[in-house]
Amino acid sequence: MDKIVVQGAGPLDGEVKISGAKNSALPILISSLLVDGTLTLSNVPHLQDITTTMGLLSHLGVQMQIDENMHIAADSSAVDQIRAPYELVKTMRASILVLGPLLARMGHAEVSLPGGCAIGSRPVNLHIKGLEAMGAKVIIEDGYIKATCKRLQGARMFMDIVSVTGTENLMMAASLAQGVSVIENAAREPEIVDLANCLNAMGAKVSGAGTDEITIEGVDSLHSASHRVIADRIETGTYLVAGAATRGRVKALNTEPKYLEAVLNKLEEAGCDLDVGDDYIEVNMHGRQPKAVSLRTAPHPAFPTDMQAQFVTMNALSQGTGTVVETIFENRFMHVHELQRMGAEIQLEGNTAVVTGRERLQAAPVMATDLRASASLVIAGLMADGPTIIDRIYHIDRGYECIEEKFAGLGANIKRIPSHLWEREKSRYLSN
């Protein structure tokens, strides 16, 4: 497997262009299944998860075209498959998002249960419960969710737990149902709003996205449309935290500050100077060590769980002690064990990490365990003496476009070592 080697150096200093949001592009790409025509997308990030999704959609009969600028045209007029196989679904949990659109468009869908995930059990019971409320007959057989319904009926659905993809799946299914649906206790993430805007561009009638109650008036069909995917707020936050943790200056361009209020508040609390414009955010620490902050993850607009690992790393390099509570997923502290190998002082107590900062960390071979944890290990490596070797970086490639180029553009000493060159190169990085 490829590895990333990060050599600790001085503060980051520079600008970084933010890509389109992974967690917006995935549901929006999949919503093309609803259209009896073509959905054209721009600002789609060049990520492994996007490639995986395009493979799944092609398998279902969607004609995909992509150009060198990552403009994607997805033509679903000839969709003729209703089964999303395990081999494709197991590599990306978000594949569950084809369940609602396939059922709504084709009257039948068979989607492999996503299976386990490193950060938690991640059930999909709320997705199924909502579809049943709209009249679907759903059975679980041979590891597949098999759903049937000639035409979904509008229904009122209460989400017992706030679920991002649960809300997205049901919003897409309801857009072609007969009658009006209401999703209560809906997720409020910006990616939900982006999907709703795209659905409405196709002729759907979705209102209330971004609030905890979304109303969808079903229509008989959806037509071709074009849509530009919003900026990635988590990629933005990741680079801003890297700037703060290295006591430097990072300006994130082509981004949307209003999506990151909770994160920006915590960066200010850590002592960052912030300059916020219409489409940029600059963090400047002026060489100062950040102050440790305490936080608690929760559904948007509260502090996002996808930024938790990055802040644990920043706390490990700050003055004082910060307490980080993870309330969304039951196992999202795997980066802690890797950071401890680098000398980080972290006490884990259930869903709480108590982090005591220090000046620097020690370089070490570490292992990426999930997407956001991997990015936090890169940040840690930037403030460690010597080469930090990060293994299993396929996690990173799922969600961060050109991560080594973007960090190098900020002054980081970072390189990717392809697996076939590792045996030759490793002596340069491994102390015996």
Tokens 């967690």, residue located: 23
Shortest separation between residue 168's beta carbon and ligand EPZ, angstroms: 7
Is 272 tagged catalytic?
no
Shortest separation between residue 363's beta carbon and ligand EPZ, angstroms: 25
Do the beta carbons of residue 93 and residue 114 sit within 8 Å? yes
Residue 213 has which token pair? 């109650």
Name which of 127 and 227 has its Cβ closer to ligand EPZ. Answer: 127
Name which of 94 and 389 has its Cβ closer to ligand EPZ. Answer: 94
Helix (H) or strand (E) holding 73, with range, is strand 72-75
Say how far apart CA 419 and CA 422 lie, in whole Å: 5
Dihedral, CA atoms, 188, 194, 197, 202, nearest 10 degrees? -130
- State the residues that interact with ligand EPZ by CB under 6 A: 22-23, 26, 94, 120, 122-127, 161, 163-166, 305-306, 328-329, 371-372, 399
Name which of 51 and 63 has its Cβ closer to ligand EPZ. Answer: 51
Do the beta carbons of residue 129 and residue 161 sit within 8 Å? no
Phi-psi region of 143 (alpha: psi -120 to 50; beta: other; left: phi over 0): left
Closest Cα partner for 341 from 381, 303, 304? Answer: 381
Residue 57 has which token pair? 């959609």
Shortest separation between residue 413's beta carbon and ligand EPZ, angstroms: 26
Residue 345 exposure: Cα atoms within 13 Å on the Cβ side: 12
SS3 content of the chain, % helix, strand, coil (to 5): 35, 30, 35
Counting every residue written for the chain, the total comes to 432
**Does residue 236 sit in helix, strand or coil?**
helix
Indicate which residue of 117, 149, 272, 402 is catalytic.
Answer: 117
Shortest separation between residue 231's beta carbon and ligand EPZ, angstroms: 14
Burial class (CB in 10 A: 0-12, 13-18, 19+), 65: exposed
Do the beta carbons of residue 249 and residue 11 sit within 8 Å? yes
Shortest separation between residue 101's beta carbon and ligand EPZ, angstroms: 15
Do the beta carbons of residue 157 and residue 182 sit within 8 Å? yes
Shortest separation between residue 371's beta carbon and ligand EPZ, angstroms: 4
Q: Among all residues, which ones are annotated catalytic? A: 117
